[in-house]
Amino acid sequence: MFEILKNFETKFNGLKKKGLRIEGLSMIDPKRKKHVIMITKPFLFDNRQLPKSYEGLDIKSKIEGGLPEEFKFDKDAIKKEYLWAPIKFEKYVDRCEDEIRKQFGNPNMTRQEMLDALAFGNFEEHKKKSMQLMTEGKIPPFKLN
């Protein structure tokens, strides 16, 4: 397992310049002995550059640093409000598109590319999954627009 982590670190080492920090292996389910690769990254990070899993291990990430105003929430409201609601990504991209293009070094980046980069690699997939979780009552209701 440490060999997988070592390979992951080697393969994605270049992303450290963009704020990626590889924390190491973590056991998230002791009963099933399920391990993950833990990473930390800034909010403004192109998630399309990272896989969801690597050689059989899921990638779990934490955001380091502050969140944009669209994502700020009251600690008491965490159960009432879905932090990663799709509309929040859309509002942020619409407000900060020039800053995002500059950060990612791509002046021709489209709105959809920005949404994909920020919303875990695929915005439409995130939106669909969020809707499903909301319908199932697993996350608080949110508006689509």
Indicate the burial class of 8 (C-beta count within 10 angstroms; 0-12, 13-18, 19 or more): buried
Q: Is the pLDDT of residue 130 over 70?
A: yes
Give the bridge partners for 40, in sequence order: 21, 62
Task: Check if the beta carbon of residue 125 is closer than 8 Å to that of residue 68.
Answer: no
Mean pLDDT of the chain: 93
Q: How far is CA 50 from the centre of its chain?
A: 10
Each residue's pLDDT tens digit, 107-116: 999 999 999 9
Query: Sign of dihedral through CA atoms 66, 72, 122, 61?
Result: positive
Each residue's pLDDT tens digit, 60-98: 999 999 999 999 877 776 578 889 999 999 999 999 999
pLDDT of residue 57: 95
Q: What is the pTM of this model?
A: 0.87
